Amino acid sequence: MNVIVYLLPIALALGLTALGAFLWSLKSGQYDDLDGAGARILDDDDIRKD
């Protein structure tokens, strides 16, 4: 029973930290352009067109 006293606040703190990180990533625009990364990998920037 004493373990619950320690584990419950730790679990709540980790959950709130994860929620804060997710909300920060939303606010900073991490999910704005989901299709751009998929299209960007198909570009051949390193091939010269001479």
The pLDDT tens digits of the residues spanning 1-50 come to 899 999 999 999 999 999 999 999 999 998 888 788 777 777 766 666 65
DSSP 3-48: HHHHHHHHHHHHHHHHHHHHHHHHHTTTTS-HHHHHHHTT--TTS-
Predicted confidence at residue 7, as pLDDT, reads 97
Residue that is written with structure tokens 């625009």 in the block:
29
What pLDDT sits at residue 50? 56
